[in-house]
Amino acid sequence: MSEFDNYDSEDQIEESETRNPVRARMKQLEKETAELRKQVAEAEAAKRELAFVKAGIDPLQPMTKYFVKAYDGDLNPEAIRQAAVEAQLISPPQNQPSADEMQAWQRTNKVAAGSQTSQPPVDWARRLNEATSPREVEQILSEARAAQQQ
């Protein structure tokens, strides 16, 4: 029998790998490198999309898709937001009042709320005229003095 009668293709593949292990390792590394590059590209795309979402831009809206695709500036949310305002995709942010202004507004609101819930002024003269006894007059006068001190 000849050697070719027992020919097997798998034996040939194993033989070629054992003949040149460097080439086999290079192929394995090239495959791993391609896979890692794909993962890096996916991570960069996710990072970019997250930056736009943090800036308040919906990357799924038709108008913003072009903006997201073409934007080549800094990927921090403030820079993206500023560029989107310049492109008129979003409205400029409203200025937030300072802490002093907030306290002033709260005091104003308290005064306004207090003026609406306060009782009408007491007509002391009418109450004195309606009093039927000297004891009742003294009680009304003491109430008037206490109200005046407050």
Residue-wise pLDDT for 70-113, tens only, equals 888 888 888 998 888 888 888 877 777 777 888 888 888 877 77
Do 85 and 56 meet the contact criterion of CB atoms below 8 Å apart?
Answer: no
CA distance 47 to 75: 9
CA 104 to chain centre: 27
- Determine contact, residues 12/3, Cβ cutoff 8 Å: no
Q: Using one digit for the tens of pLDDT, what is the confidence trace for 11-67?
A: 555 555 567 899 999 999 999 999 999 999 999 989 988 998 888 888 888 888 888
Q: How many CB atoms lie within 10 A of CB 75?
A: 16
- Write the single-letter amino acid at 27: K
Distance CA 29, CA 50 (A): 31
- What is the per-residue pLDDT for 106? 85
**What's the pLDDT at 87?**
86
State the Cα angle at 99 between 96 and 100, rounded to 5°: 115
What gap in Å lies between CA 49 and CA 75, rounded to an integer?
10
Residue 15 is predicted with a pLDDT of 55
**Residue 10 pLDDT:** 55
| Residue 55 confidence (pLDDT) | 87
pLDDT in tens, 119-145: 667 888 888 888 899 999 899 899 888
Predicted pLDDT of residue 4 = 55
> H or E segment at 67?
helix 62-70
- pTM, rounded to two decimals: 0.45
C-beta atoms surrounding 140 within 10 Å: 16
Q: Return the closest-CA partner of residue 42 out of 34, 30, 54.
A: 34
- Non-local CB neighbours of 91 within 8 Å, separated by 6+ positions: 85
Q: Report how far residue 86's alpha carbon sits from residue 101's, in angstroms, rounded to the nearest whole number.
A: 29
Name which of 1-10, 23-32, 141-150 the model is least confident about: 1-10
